[in-house]
Amino acid sequence: MKKFYPKSGRVILHVDMNSFFASVEIADDPSLKGKPLAIAGDAKQRKGIVVTCSYEARKYGVKTTMQVWEAKKLCPKLIVKQPDHERYRLVSRAIFDLLRKYSDLVEPVSIDEGYVDITDCQELGSPVQIAEMIQKDLLNTLDLPCSIGIAPNKFLAKMASDMKKPLGITILRKRDIPAVLWPLPVIEMHGIGEKTAEKLGAIEVKTIRDLARANDWQLQSAIGIRGLRLKERANGIDSRKVDPEAAAVNKSVGSSITLPRDISNQSELLSVLEKLSANVTARLKRKQYVTKNVSVMIKYKNRETITRSRMLDNPIVEPHEIFKAAKTLFIKNWNGHPVRLLGITGQDLLKADHAFEQLNLFSYEKEAKKEPLYDAINRMKKKYGSSILRTGSEGSHPENKKES
């Protein structure tokens, strides 16, 4: 088997479950097999947003983020079910337990995808044979289809797994990059979204080949230091290891403050929570993480301390989102006594570029409408400084006017 493995370097698989939420529902109810199925935020409302759908539904043009009424117009026989997040989490754990049968080097990156380093698994067979075993094992054990990319690094493995769905196995070597990757539009590259693609298009970087050959200074001017990392990826360079402990590193990001005096006024305490939320957001963004679990710590005048947490349906990172979750926890658990210390922590962190938002009517539509506002605010802050805009609560406290 040695001939199938490099003398130096790694062999990495990217295992990506196909239409995960829909596939879990079909595995649970075999009568849904072969039928057009959509998982939506609220199956009873025509306004619900499609989170994911089966491949039978996709044949009719049904897509993620499409409203249910649109999807049903395209596919009148579409079956719509609400998501069952707890079931999906349990199935996800079973998937990664299965992958660990093949290698100790398994790194989950989201609920339905992860990397497996099989460099030292030669006794199991060739890389393709191992991928086939994993694929069959997931089908036979959990009745779930997946696509698998085989490559010498994480980036290429991720790109490969996207090339054939469902139930695909694709090998992508560095020597394949000019013929296979470079002709693709830059937006099809992992790690590049619509906004980044627009910025790259403004400097005439339209294909992955353009990115691989782009001028470093122009890239940094367009999208910052991240542009150089993307250029490396476009050239097939990615030194990241498959790290089973990656999920355990940076388990949480928090911010707390001992108040200058014991406070029992709810409005003042909420104002402090709002500032802490902004601090947590800044730290999460600096580390490029999002959080799926927000906790609040309250220490009273008598030094009694309580900590309460809340698991979220969707990963969040923006200050208003963290404040909303923290405020709910605080109001529910504060006993009205004077508070000496407050803290907020984001837990169950996910890398921002791997976070999969389980979209629904309330999160997707609301955030989509706010996007132009966020862009405008960010442009103003870049041009005039971060103190140009403040929230209403910041403006109501004189001491806050000293901060920028």
What is the mean pLDDT of the segment spanning 371-398? Answer: 48
Extract the tokens encoding 344. 């907020």
Quote the CA–CA distance of 109 and 95 in Å, as a whole number: 13
- Which structure tokens are listed for 76? 């009148």
User: Higher model confidence: residue 371 or residue 51?
Assistant: 51
Looking up tokens 């088997």, which residue turns up?
A: 1
Q: What is the CATH number of the domain that holds 151?
A: 3.30.70.270
Domain of 286, CATH number, reads: 3.30.1490.100
Query: What pLDDT score was predicted for residue 13?
Result: 98
Confidence of residue 81 (pLDDT cuts 50, 70, 90): very high
Domain boundary among 85, 104, 124: 85
Q: Examine the domain organization and report whether 320 and 345 are in the same domain.
A: yes
**pLDDT surpassing 70 at residue 403:** no
Asked whether the predicted pLDDT for residue 367 surpasses 50, the reply is: no
Are 109 and 137 members of one domain?
Answer: yes
CA distance to 13, 119, 126, 325, per residue, from 103 (Å)? 11, 9, 14, 38
**Residue 241 maps to a domain:** no
Strand ranges for 264-394 from DSSP E: 289-300, 305-316, 339-351
Report the pLDDT value the prediction gives residue 249, as an integer from 0 to 100.
Answer: 56
Indicate whether 261 and 352 sit together in one domain.
yes
Task: Say yes or no to pLDDT of 88 above 50.
Answer: yes
Q: Please tell me the distance from the alpha carbon of residue 291 to that of residue 312, in angstroms, as a whole number.
A: 9
Grade residue 193 by pLDDT with cuts at 50, 70 and 90. confident
Q: Do 213 and 342 fall within a single domain?
A: no
Q: Which of 85, 116, 140 is the last residue of a domain?
A: 85
Distance CA(50)–CA(212), nearest Å, equals 35
Please tell me whether residues 13 and 111 are part of one structural domain: yes
Binding site, by residue number, is 16, 112
In the structure, what pLDDT confidence band is assigned to residue 260 with cuts at 50, 70 and 90? confident
Is pLDDT at 395 greater than 70 in this prediction?
A: no
The answer to whether residue 315 scores a pLDDT higher than 90 is no
Binding residue numbers for Mg(2+): 16, 112
Looking at the domain assignment, is residue 183 inside a domain? no
- Cα–Cα distance, 195 to 184 (Å, whole number): 17
Q: pLDDT category, 186, cuts 50, 70, 90?
A: very high
- Residue-level pLDDT at 156: 97
Residue 363 lies in a domain: no
- State which residues form the domain around 309: 252-358
Span 317-361, pLDDT tens digits:
999 999 999 999 999 999 999 999 999 999 888 877 655 444 343
The domain tally of the chain equals: 5
Judgement on whether residues 111 and 212 belong to the same structural domain of the protein: no
**Together in a domain, 110 and 196:** no
Is it the case that residue 396 has pLDDT exceeding 80?
Answer: no
| Higher-confidence position of 373 and 41 | 41
Contact 53, 63 (CB under 8 A): yes
Neighbours of 46 (CB within 10 A): 13
365 flagged as catalytic: no
Q: Domain for residue 380, yes or no?
A: yes
Share of the chain above pLDDT 90, in %: 62
In a domain, 401, yes or no: no
Average pLDDT over residues 281-302: 88
**pLDDT: which is higher, 394 or 69:** 69
Average pLDDT over residues 36-47: 73
Residues 12 and 129 in one domain: yes
Per-residue confidence at 371, pLDDT binned at 50, 70, 90?
very low
Q: Is the pLDDT of residue 87 over 50?
A: yes
**Of 25, 113, 274, 321, catalytic:** 113
| Cα–Cα distance, 180 to 384 (Å, whole number) | 44
Instruction: State how far the alpha carbon of 299 is from the alpha carbons of 263, 302, 324, 333, 340, in Å.
Output: 11, 8, 20, 12, 6
Q: Are 319 and 370 in contact (CB under 8 A)?
A: no
Amino acid 288: pLDDT: 81
- The number of residues in the chain equals 404
Stronger pLDDT, 271 or 84, i.e. the higher one: 271
Assess whether 170 and 311 both reside in one domain: no
With a CB cutoff of 8 Å and minimum separation 6, the contacts of 153 are 10, 12, 236, 237, 238, 239, 240
Using an 8 Å Cβ cutoff, are 28 and 13 in contact? no
**Residue 403 lies inside a defined structural domain of this protein:** no
Q: Based on the domain organization, do 208 and 226 belong to the same domain?
A: yes
**Is residue 106's pLDDT more than 70?**
yes
* Other Cβ atoms closer than 10 A to 388: 12
Residue 141 CB contacts under 8 Å (≥ 6 apart), including other chains: 94, 98
Do 364 and 67 form a contact (C-beta atoms < 8 A)?
A: no
Within-domain flag for 65: yes
12 and 110 together in one domain: yes
Instruction: Kindly report, residue by residue over 131-155, the tens digit of the pLDDT.
Output: 999 999 999 999 999 999 999 999 9
Residue 404 has pLDDT above 70, yes or no: no
**Considering the domain boundaries, does residue 184 fall inside one?**
no
Query: Could you tell me if 49 and 121 lie in one domain?
Result: no
pLDDT value, residue 250: 54
